[in-house]
Structure 1
Amino acid sequence: MRTLLRWSGKEGDTLLKIIGQSHAVIRDLSISGNGVVDGLVIEGCDQPNAKIFIERGNVSSAKQVGILAEKIAYANISLHDFNHSDCDVGVKVIGTNAETEGRFVIFSGASSNNRISYDVTDGGKLLARDIWYESGQFPQFINLTGKGTFTLHGAIAAVASKEGIMPIELDNFDGNFSLLTTILVGTNYVPATVLLKGNGGNMNVLLLGTQFGMGEDYFINQSPKAKFAILEPTMFTQGGGSKPLSNQGLTDKDFILNMLKQTREAKPSSFGTLSDNVTDLNIFGVIVSNARNCIVIR
């Protein structure tokens, strides 16, 4: 049996709010914001060792963002079997513009039909692993223009193809972007282009073990100062097979290890008891839909 909360009034603030430093379990709950309020907001949760764990979470039809983490410096945010779909932006992490120990990790999940699936800015850090994405409507998948660190590891992404719109675009991005062991294709297995543009003086990009669609324009570098490496790439061939492609860019060991650091260090959270003065939230089977922002963590 699932409890349903539905907003029926005029435009407002939040349907359900949790204020840290709380210890709470939310289970088997559906939240509908009627398009005019935030669904679930978690505030005051950013203490050292704080934990926010979401399993079987589902956000959809957000007018702004499916799940938004805003200026988190310390909290450990872990999502397992997480779905984001039909949102303007699926997942957005806004950092503090400083080096922090907090993290935001999607360990597994699925996604579909977002206008943009991932956005990282202001020094935010995001890792997404073992996740599927597909859209027959929207061509953009990732658009990075700010500062941050983002690793997409072990994904399958099939996007709509539209002339002049690049599925993955980094425009003078300041930080690290790693695309690891991922299948990336457009409609009918054409390339889903990765585009680097802008000056790129602080842009670092690693594409490792990526399988691209059929065609030449799978990677375009218009960023003269960007550091990048394309290693062990393959391309689909007619009939369903694949062929190896040549490596491009840097092969420096230290560069590669630095670009792999985020995913190599990420491990699932334990469920030990936390002290009363830190947030400890465990969320299971919660669906948030048709909200302004479905889930906000700040």
Structure 2
Amino acid sequence: MRRKKVAGTRSTTALVLAGIPQGLRLSTLWDAVRWSVRERVERPDDDARFEAMQLLRGRIDRDVFVHAMHKHQPDLATFTYYATDGLAHRFWTYHQPDAFTGIDPKKQALYGETVRDAYRQADQLLGELQARVSPETTVVVVSDHGFRAFDPALDQLGFQPLTERLRARLIEQGLPVDVSRLGIKLNVGLTDGAADRLPELRAALEALVDETGAPVFRVEPVPGAPNALGLTLTDERVTEARIQGGTVGGRALGRLRSALGDLLGHARRAGRDLRQRPRLAGGADLAEHGAPGRGADCSGALGHPPGVGSPRRRGAGARSSAQRCGRAREPG
């Protein structure tokens, strides 16, 4: 939560400058400066910027962590690497193009290696961290969820997590946002350079109503994050009447539930387990894709498909059974 608040209130440049006394290396700083110049000269699109920022922040996190570890000599320390999650959510389409339709060839050429690059960087950073601790140090590598492409039959049912539906709708309205879940609350934050559009974002969120005309969300400010708004459902009750009378993507929710049950039953009869624990892609290990062999296992639980109307079909995460197994995509 602290990381999200800082990211929502400080620009990348400010974060980089603040990191210098905290151990930011000259090589990392130089790459940040080069990227800043490229942004001003070439005006890269959102995908290129997102990819670069995820990989750069991985190195920034590494620098600060190593500095803090040597300074404080803790008995226990944790390091979280985010790029494997963020880049897989956004670029899985190009990582496993044969599982999707309508792939842009130019995008495929640009981002076909992006997911693998994230795991290569994760492996490199992990190797460096291991080299900096004593042989007696216990190093535990864990992942809270995996990634996979969704079954096309499930995708046709129109199921998509609320975070992705909401983000897609707001982006279609021209609002550059990121949507994440913190407990029962959604955080909707404007990306860098769009803070002055917060009133427009609030108006768009408050305009979302259900079939009775009642507001879907309660909209509240997020303490410490002036670029973001917090959302909670106005009515969180789940009753049989609401299931039978509700809709998802224009389809009757009761019928969708029945269709999903039929699909899962058919899969079981066919001997197919939709809850299988996939590896990086199609059952393949990371090493088969040319990455070094020290990366973490990315196996996960049941994934759910992106729905109709999403501007981009992306890979989706699934939390482990200990963390709400079966939730659609990783909620942030």
TM-score, length-scaled by structure 2: 0.25
Larger Rg belongs to:
2
